[in-house]
Amino acid sequence: MEDLIIFILIGAVAGWAAGKLMRGGGLGPVGNIALGIVGSYVGGHVLGWIGIYSYSFSIIGRIVTAIIGAVIVLAVVGIFKKD
């Protein structure tokens, strides 16, 4: 149960931070958590491709990995969603 709570908190922090970095206001609590979870997955794969594995990092490393992935997700969504 503790791991699930940590996972959700990492998702929330990463989603919020990515929203701020990409000049957004965030997506709300649920949207930030979802973005952070997807970002964690994407960031883990992207960093893995270049030889950096986040499972050996501290909690800060995992948050940074999730933020990197969330920024990538927001950038890709921004490419396809032009107003």
Residue 54 has what pLDDT?
61
- Give 10-66 pLDDT, tens digit per residue: 888 888 888 888 876 667 788 888 888 898 889 888 988 888 776 666 888 888 888
C-alpha to C-alpha distance for 26 and 47, rounded to whole angstroms:
24
Domain count, the chain: 1
- CB neighbour list of residue 40: distance below 8 Å, 6 or more residues apart: 7, 10, 11, 14, 62, 65, 66, 69, 70
What domain range includes position 75? Answer: 2-80
C-alpha to C-alpha distance for 64 and 13, rounded to whole angstroms:
10
pTM above 0.85, yes or no: no
C-alpha to C-alpha distance for 1 and 16, rounded to whole angstroms:
23
3-state secondary structure of 53: coil
Residue 6 has what pLDDT?
85
